[in-house]
Structure 1
Amino acid sequence: MDKKELKTMRSSFQKLDERRIEILHDPRIHSLMEKVSKIRKDSIDNMEELLEISKIKFQDNGIEFTYAETAEDARNIIYQLVKGYSIIAKSKSNTVGEIGLSQFLKEKDIDIVETDLGDRIVQLNYKDQRPAHPIGPALHLNIDKIAEIIHDTLGVEVEAEPRAIMELIKQDVLKELELCSVGITGANSVAAEDGSLIIVHNEGNISLLSMMDTHIIVVGIDKLVPTIEDAISVVKLETAYATGTYLPSYMNIISGPSKTADIEKRLLKDMYGAKKVIVVMIDNGRSKALKECLWCIGCGSCIVACPVYNAVGNEFGFRGYLGGRGTAISKFLESDESSYNNGLFMCTLCGLCTLECPVSTPTSDIIEKLRFSVQKSGFYPKIHTQISENIKKEGSPFKKE
């Protein structure tokens, strides 16, 4: 990010903080925090069991279930499902970003149209398509820059005014959706015992994607919780911390493909919605990760408070998983080298992220543990070796001239 983008991002974060301040002091939210913290910790402790339960329940509900051990497995599974299409639609999904699906399909001559407003703006910004926030990917781009991106990419002049930009991108996306029969989304939480997936959104785009002939849902095994009631509690807390509102505009509960029994109570499939719902459940290192690293509910509150992220932006983090937690999880999703390159040693260990986290993820403690293990693999700032040698030889970290 350049200085202008960082300034815009910090201004956006300030507006978010102002919007959240009242709701985060509500006793109901405090009670919800305690409830969700227990749900998430218990779910991660029982993740393997929940995975097996969900597999059976999905199939009972008519949802096709596939399991991907690695990111490569997930990409190949999805490619086999969409290889006959030239264009598919997608909603915001950090899990899809994690596996590098968009670039992979582009190399296979399959276009992806982003339907979330912020993601579409970032997608059109060919110079740098990294997001600034998991819920607000374009928060670092000011209104003039967005208008410039639209002009450069779509060849259209648009007034540097929010509604004018929204309307133009909406019409552009809707035109692209006329060509799509496949929608790919993530899921915010997964109810294993019910075989249901909960997806929250404010724009209505996921409702459009879930109505396409084929709805593919890509989700990590860490999103599993026991019941729908648990899943709704999780997404309510995520919404409060991510947007400063009690509820999103939409909560889609996906429990199977479209069907009806309105004629003599005979079950008929393929009414208005999806003919096929396919879940791609991804491990990709999660089963080997530190349990605390998987408590995250994806609200992005940690990076709003993080002094390092506010100083350097999305250089600190891994793809859509931003800040210290993203850096930490990248060790398990990719490698020690990835964690090092994504800012493992940038963190000041101040702990503000944990204070601001609704489930008290101990990110700074996790990073401290990972630094110890990663440096054993040879990944650490080499200046540390020089400083150590200086202390041994000179009694000071500074080298004498």
Structure 2
Amino acid sequence: MKKSELETMRKSFNTVKSRSDSIKESPSTKRLVKRVREIKKFSIENKDELINQLLESFSRNDIECKMADNSFEALKIIDGLLDEFGASVVAKAKSNTLGEIDLKNHLKEKGIDVVETDLGDRILQLKKVDNKPVHPTGPASHLNVSNITDIVNESLDVNVDPVPREIMEVVRKDVLDRLKYANVGISGANAIASEEGSCVMVHNEGNISIVSLKDLHIIVAGIDKIVPTLEDAISVSKLETIFATGNYVTSYMNVISGPSKTADIEKKLLKNMYGAERVVVILLDNGRSEAIDECLYCIGCGNCLINCPVYNAVGNEFGFNNYLGGRGVAMSKFIEDDETCFNSGLYMCTLCGLCTLNCPLSIPTNDILENMRKLSTDAGFYPKAHGKIRDNVSKNNSPF
């Protein structure tokens, strides 16, 4: 990342810190932290039972569910669904899981126009190069208003002034114009309730509501998002919001429990009133079954990144795909392999433990990475060894 981008990112992070500190220390948040830890522990320990219950709940709710062992299988399922609907334009919501399977580039190669509906993600999409996000909830936090103005003017062939509201309005109009041709929406989920068969999604912009109103709504979520009940799912989503944005709750919380339907004419059930005629959930494993339990506690708030000295120094070069920072490095071992883990920044981490201290669920990321370093040595991946790998890391600006 450029020096100016790192400075803007750090400034954005400090804004979130100052806004959220008092909320994090409130009694209600501390109670919520304790509750979510218990929820995640139970969910991980009873994963198979919850999946089986969820499949029954989805069936009862008329939600189609497909299991994907890896990214290839998930993309194959999505390709089949898009072919069914003859989709040439897709409305996409912000999702780390969709970044994990590299959906956007995959569909681009097939000639399908993927329209990012989140403002930050859309700005990065218009940027075209070096467009990796820097935070799960603030993907464009490293770009200042001047940078964004140049990106928007060049990509959309407009002449907007460097005024945030004007930029927002121009991008919004462009997105809505493009979405007129989309009949498929794709999103992730913040949490999934096994008992009710409900997917919970939180957002501030209202864009997920738009995505979910397309004829087909595809939801891709890791199996680590499954929790026992809807109350549990909301608790997880609420805690993520507090630590990600410094607010007690987001503007919108969508609960998707089935296709759009009505029975207001002689009590005859009709689908596709305003929203989706079909809802398809793809449950992604992609190494999660083999992952260390502590890695699966993550709720995606990104508070570890804000407080990580390494991330604040090098930015999104520390991490794997959309999974940024130390936790992303750890997950890369299970999603990909030892070499990917090494090249994602395994030896960048200082093992200072600030990520754990600032994680609402106290995930011991530094301990996990320290243990992985020992394993990487056994596998032949370590600094100053194997020149080819060392050279690859050097290209990524590793300090080693």
TM-score, length-scaled by structure 2: 0.95
**2:90 aligns to what SS in structure 1?**
strand
1:86: Cα distance to partner? Answer: 1.3
C-alpha separation between the residues in 2 aligned to 1:56 and 1:383? Answer: 51
C-alpha separation between the residues in 1 aligned to 2:137 and 2:56? Answer: 31
Which residue does the alignment assign to 2:67? 67
Residues 28-86 of structure 1: CA distance to partner in whole angstroms, max 9, x if unpaired? 00000000011011111111221111111111100011000011000111011113221
2:183–2:215 contact (8 Å) kept in structure 1: yes
2:327–2:365 contact (8 Å) kept in structure 1: yes
**1:332 aligns to what SS in structure 2?**
helix
Which residue does the alignment assign to 1:172? 174
1:337: Cα distance to partner? Answer: 1.0
Residues 268-315 of structure 1: CA distance to partner in whole angstroms, max 9, x if unpaired? 222111000000110000000000000000000000000000000000
C-alpha separation between the residues in 2 aligned to 1:106 and 1:228? Answer: 35
Which residue does the alignment assign to 1:113? 115
Deviates more, 1:153-162 or 1:288-297: 153-162
User: What are the within-5 Å matches in structure 2 for residues 261-300 of structure 1?
Assistant: 261-300=263-302
Letter in 2 for 1:309: Y
Letter in 1 for 2:70: T
Query: How many residues get paired?
Result: 385
Letter in 2 for 1:128: D
C-alpha separation between the residues in 1 aligned to 2:79 and 2:131? Answer: 22
1:22: Cα distance to partner? Answer: 1.4
1:21: Cα distance to partner? Answer: 1.4
1:151: Cα distance to partner? Answer: 1.8
Which residue does the alignment assign to 1:8? 8
* Aligned with 2:353 (options 347, 351, 354): 351
**2:289 aligns to what SS in structure 1?**
helix
**1:266 aligns to what SS in structure 2?**
coil
C-alpha separation between the residues in 2 aligned to 1:360 and 1:45? Answer: 17
1:261: Cα distance to partner? Answer: 2.1
1:123: Cα distance to partner? Answer: 0.7
Deviates more, 1:44-53 or 1:11-20: 44-53
Which residue does the alignment assign to 1:100? 102
User: What are the within-5 Å matches in structure 2 for residues 330-345 of structure 1?
Assistant: 330-345=332-347
Deviates more, 1:128-137 or 1:372-381: 372-381
**2:264 aligns to what SS in structure 1?**
strand
Please list every run of 5 or more consecutive structure 1 residues that lacks an aligned counterpart in the other structure: 386-401
1:224: Cα distance to partner? Answer: 0.4
Which residue does the alignment assign to 1:394? none
Letter in 2 for 1:117: L
1:127: Cα distance to partner? Answer: 1.8
C-alpha separation between the residues in 2 aligned to 1:246 and 1:39? Answer: 19
Which residue does the alignment assign to 2:38? 38
C-alpha separation between the residues in 1 aligned to 2:116 and 2:361? Answer: 30
1:383: Cα distance to partner? Answer: 5.9
Larger Rg: 1
Identity %: 58
C-alpha separation between the residues in 2 aligned to 1:351 and 1:230? Answer: 28
Residues 220-278 of structure 1: CA distance to partner in whole angstroms, max 9, x if unpaired? 00000000000000001000000000000011000000111223333222211100000
Tell me the C-alpha RMSD between the 2 structures: 1.2
* Aligned with 1:251 (options 241, 250, 253): 253
Which residue does the alignment assign to 2:364? 362
2:149–2:161 contact (8 Å) kept in structure 1: yes
Distance 1:47 1:150, change over 3 A: same
**1:113 aligns to what SS in structure 2?**
strand
**2:205 aligns to what SS in structure 1?**
coil
* Aligned with 2:161 (options 159, 162, 176): 159
Which residue does the alignment assign to 2:17? 17
Letter in 1 for 2:75: R
Please list every run of 5 or more consecutive structure 2 residues that lacks an aligned counterpart in the other structure: 388-400
Letter in 2 for 1:15: T
Which residue does the alignment assign to 2:140? 138
Deviates more, 1:201-210 or 1:42-51: 42-51
C-alpha separation between the residues in 1 aligned to 2:79 and 2:336? Answer: 21
C-alpha separation between the residues in 2 aligned to 1:87 and 1:97? Answer: 18
**1:253 aligns to what SS in structure 2?**
strand
1:371: Cα distance to partner? Answer: 1.2
C-alpha separation between the residues in 2 aligned to 1:384 and 1:29? Answer: 47
C-alpha separation between the residues in 1 aligned to 2:270 and 2:89? Answer: 29
* Aligned with 2:199 (options 189, 194, 197): 197
**1:262 aligns to what SS in structure 2?**
coil
2:20–2:247 contact (8 Å) kept in structure 1: yes
Letter in 1 for 2:62: G
C-alpha separation between the residues in 1 aligned to 2:198 and 2:376? Answer: 38
**1:350 aligns to what SS in structure 2?**
coil
**2:52 aligns to what SS in structure 1?**
helix
* Aligned with 1:238 (options 237, 240, 249): 240
Deviates more, 1:44-53 or 1:313-322: 44-53
Letter in 2 for 1:190: I
C-alpha separation between the residues in 2 aligned to 1:151 and 1:11? Answer: 24
Deviates more, 1:52-61 or 1:307-316: 52-61
1:378: Cα distance to partner? Answer: 1.7
2:380–2:386 contact (8 Å) kept in structure 1: no
User: What are the within-5 Å matches in structure 2 for residues 376-395 of structure 1?
Assistant: 376-382=378-384
* Aligned with 2:374 (options 372, 375, 397): 372
Which residue does the alignment assign to 1:222? 224
**1:17 aligns to what SS in structure 2?**
helix
Letter in 2 for 1:133: H
Which residue does the alignment assign to 1:58? 58
